[in-house]
Every structure is written in structure tokens, then in C-alpha cells.
Amino acid sequence: MVLALVLGASVALPGAPRDKKRTGSESPETSTLVERATVEMVLIEAYVSDGQGRPIEGLGPNDFVLMVDGHVRPISSLEFRNAGAPPMASGAVTTQAPPGQAPPTTAEKKYPRRFILFYEDRTSSPEGLTAARRATARLLAESLVPDDQVALAVFDRGLRLLHEFTSDRAVLRQCLEASLSDPRRFSDFASEHEQHESEFAGKVFGETGGGSGGVRAQAALVQALNYAGDEAPRVRGILRALQTLIDSLSPYPGFKAIVFMGDGVAENPAFDFFRRFAGADTDSTFATRAAKFDLSQDIKGLANAAAAGGVTLHSVQT
């Protein structure tokens, strides 16, 4: 499918020096001539397929949005181009039609669905991830079809692949059962979180530190920023791990999905911490200081990458 896009742009190209007669011992002059080329139309190829890798026809310009430097640009026209019939898939079956009947057809190649079950152990409650692993056994037995391919991945001290894609449910269950006793899935994040909460409560409600209400409020804001400084790098590590999984899954044809299991990811750890424990909104000064911990664009970029790669993201809150 080829899109013809109307774009206006100017590109400055260095030009050749202008010939000029020289007399005597005059030194050659450097020309300031600049040639400009205006781009009136750009052709972009867009490949659109369904969950089985088949091309989607019947789309029009209104089905696409073109963004250039943050601005929506018009699409002049759209044409469907078929590069030719796809090669016969390995294992495809053809049948000979009897005389007078329709020509033989080729059995359509069906790709297995692929799922990566991703357990975020680094910042999630071990009890919640234990329950998630137990629930996976039911998922494997009741919610999947025999041809579905499943891989297991975890994020604890780093991203690890517990098992590559397989349709062997028994092997997957054994792998999950073994991971329950893996010490790497237990972190000190939960205890640190409780400590931060206790310290924060003291700053807000005057249980520790004393001082006026204004002083306590300022101390609480500082505590929230310190907490965000510790948590933001960990969350970015989770997002990078998800990006790696998306990149590895994108080339596969057919339906593919990542199922994220964990306590969730805050768009801004500073805001999340303050609102949960202080029960109040923040002021503009705090918002300015907390802006460096904002992860909303990272999360949005992750969603865009998944959409571009045809990867479906599911989240299970533990």
C-alpha cells in the first residue's frame, strides 16, 4: 500500500561556485550561491495486515494520520499495490478440481498465536507474583488453544528469559514451579517502600521531626522527591525490558501479545507517592521539581512501539 503525501519543505543544498572572470593576480572568490529544492510530494509505503499477517484492503486516507514534527499533514492520495501472490507456504496443500468445477485452491497458512508472559518481580510484591504464577497454570490449561506458543520472561535483577516459545504446557508449568523458589525474584523493594511510607507519614502528620505545618509540608515534598529519585531508574529499567520484548516479538507473523504481571508502573513516582501517602494534591513548585521524574512519554513511546510492531499489550495488576 503506497501513500502519496503532500509535504512542503525547503532543503538548502550547497551549490557549485559561480564562474567569474579573474584578472591579474586576483585570488578566486568563494561563491555564496545556494540552491534550494522544494519537496512537493513524498511517497511512503505502509504495510497494513491483520492478526494473521494478511493485507487489509479498502482503506482510505481518513484511516491514516500523518504526523511530521508534531503536526498533522494532509494525505493527498492512497493506492493499494499488490506485489504479487505470496509464495506457497511450506506444508500448504493444493487439490485438483474435477473437470467442470472451480480451480484448485491453496490451503491458507495459519500462524500460531504467540504470548510472552512477563513477571515483573523487581518492584512488585512477591505474594502477588506468586499468585500470578499459580494463576498461569489455569491459563495454560483453560484459555489457550493447542497451537499457541508461550514464552516466559521475568524482570528481577535484570531481564531474563525463563523459557523460549513452546506449546508444551507441562514444560511451562514445571518452569514456573521452579521459579517460585528462585531467590532472585525476592527484592528489598517492599521493605524500602514501607520505610518510605513511615518516614513520609512522620513528615506530613508531625509524628517525627516536629515543626510548623509549613515546615512539615516542605519536608514531605522533599521526601517524595527523594523517593522518586530512587524509584524512577527502576521503573525505567522495567520499560526498557518491555521494549526489548516488543522488539523481539515484532518480527513474528500473526497475532502476538505480551502479558505484563506486576504491581504496575507509575507515570511519575513523585506524584504517585505524594498523593497516596499525603492524600493531597501538589502545588506548582512541586510539579516543576518533579518533572524530571515524569515517565509518561516513555510509556507512550512503548505503546507506540508495540502498535507499530503489531504487538498487543495486556496488563494484570497483582
Q: Are residues 182 and 130 both part of a single domain?
A: yes
Q: Quickly state the pLDDT bin for 122 (edges 50, 70, 90).
A: confident
Cα gap 220→140, rounded to integer Å? 46
As given in the structure block, the three cell numbers for residue 256 are 502476538
Residue 42 has pLDDT above 60, yes or no: yes
Residues 170-219 pLDDT 10s? 999 999 999 998 888 887 776 676 676 776 666 665 555 445 455 566 77
User: For the domain that residue 292 is a member of, what is the CATH number?
Assistant: 3.40.50.410
Q: Are 49 and 57 in contact (CB under 8 A)?
A: no
pLDDT (0 to 100) of residue 44? 75
Q: Are residues 144 and 293 both part of a single domain?
A: yes
To which H or E segment does residue 73 belong? strand 71-73
Q: Are residues 204 and 73 both part of a single domain?
A: no
Q: Are residues 71 and 128 both part of a single domain?
A: no
Query: Considering its fold, how many domains does the chain have in total?
Result: 2
Q: Quickly state the pLDDT bin for 142 (edges 50, 70, 90).
A: confident
Task: State the first-to-last Cα distance of the chain, in angstroms, to the nearest integer.
Answer: 42
Neighbours of 164 (CB within 10 A): 10
Instruction: Identify the CA nearest to 136 among candidates 89, 184, 94, 172.
Output: 172
Among 8-12, 166-170, 195-199, 252-256, whose mean pLDDT is lowest?
A: 8-12
To which H or E segment does residue 251 belong? none
Residue 316 has pLDDT above 80, yes or no: yes
Q: What is the mean predicted confidence (pLDDT) over 293-311?
A: 90
User: Which amino acid appears at position 84 of this protein?
Assistant: G
Q: What three-state secondary structure class fits 25?
A: coil
Q: Are residues 142 and 291 both part of a single domain?
A: yes
More confident residue, 167 or 211: 167
- Domain membership of residue 239 (yes or no) is yes
pLDDT (0 to 100) of residue 250? 94
Q: Are residues 247 and 178 both part of a single domain?
A: yes
Domain extent for 160 = 114-317
More confident residue, 45 or 126: 126
pLDDT (0 to 100) of residue 267? 84
- Domain membership of residue 215 (yes or no) is yes
Q: Are 141 and 83 in contact (CB under 8 A)?
A: no
Q: Are residues 174 and 278 both part of a single domain?
A: yes
Q: What is the mean predicted confidence (pLDDT) over 259-269?
A: 87
Ordered alpha helix ranges (H), 1-144: 126-142
Q: Are 228 and 220 in contact (CB under 8 A)?
A: no
Residues 225-236 pLDDT 10s? 888 888 888 889
